[in-house]
Homo-oligomer: A and B are copies of this chain.
Amino acid sequence: MSDQGILAVVSGFSGAGKGTLMKALLEKHHNYALSISATTREPREGETDGREYFFVTKEAFEEMIQKGQLIEHAQYVNNYYGTPRQYVFQQMADGRDVILEIEIQGALKIKERFPEALLIFVMPPSADELKRRLVGRGTETMEVIDKRMRRAGQEAAGITSYDYILINDALDQCVEEMHQLIQAQHKRVSQNLEFIQQMKSELTDR
């Protein structure tokens, strides 16, 4: 089948378990490359430049925009976030399936520019379960949790622009489902036009 990697975008509510899911997917399957976003926000404690994010200045970020070095960028609370172009296309050319873990705004821009990109939205089984998980973390006040829940409600309107939803109920199952969704993309007709053309020639030139 096609040698070209897939461009997959994974989004989800805060608390839906995206981080754990991505980590498990990359540990279990070795054909994935996780894109690292650039941002102008300050690193939080424990974050390392080039691991969680590429931390850059506002000037440097705006230069990246002008030079066309980002395939999408968005602003949240006065900070820029964006996806560096070179890494994504290099990995795809090398045959790796690239995952962008980005928010809805950026995901929709990717879909607009790359209609073949696969957009997956990870959801909790229910709103109650989402709240249980956010409370269970024990890191946030009830006020912050309520704010996250309301934000999730607003974000839910954007889900219909995605291709697939995955319900993160049992982690291992969800990892396998995500793997299968992304691998199925290699079988899309649009990924195999060369093979189809070759078959056509072989059948007619005889």
Residues of A within 8 A of B (CB): 1, 121, 123, 126-128, 130, 146, 149-150, 152-154, 156-157, 159-167, 177, 180-181, 183-184, 187-189, 192-193, 195-196, 199-200, 202-204, 206
B residues in contact with A150, CB < 8 Å:
203-204
User: B146, B153, B164, B193: which contacts A187 (Cβ < 8 A)?
Assistant: B164
Interface contact B181-A187, CB-CB below 8 Å = yes
B residues in contact with A202, CB < 8 Å:
126-128
B residues in contact with A189, CB < 8 Å:
121, 159-165
Interface contact A184-B204, CB-CB below 8 Å = no
User: Taking the nearest CB of chain B, how far is it from the CB of A25, in angstroms?
Assistant: 16
User: Taking the nearest CB of chain B, how far is it from the CB of A29, in angstroms?
Assistant: 15
Of all chain B residues, the one with the shortest Cβ separation from A186 is B164
Q: A153-B204, A189-B163, A206-B127 are in contact. Are A181 and B181 (CB under 8 A)?
A: no
Please report whether the interface of chain A is mostly helix, strand, loop or mixed according to DSSP: helix
User: B156, B187, B188, B199: which contacts A126 (Cβ < 8 A)?
Assistant: B199
Q: CA separation between A4 and B20, bound complex, in Å?
A: 30
Interface contact B127-A196, CB-CB below 8 Å = no
Interface contact A156-B199, CB-CB below 8 Å = yes
Interface contact A187-B203, CB-CB below 8 Å = no
Interface contact A187-B177, CB-CB below 8 Å = yes
Interface contact B188-A153, CB-CB below 8 Å = no
Interface contact A200-B156, CB-CB below 8 Å = yes
User: Taking the nearest CB of chain B, how far is it from the CB of A170, in angstroms?
Assistant: 14
B residues in contact with A154, CB < 8 Å:
204
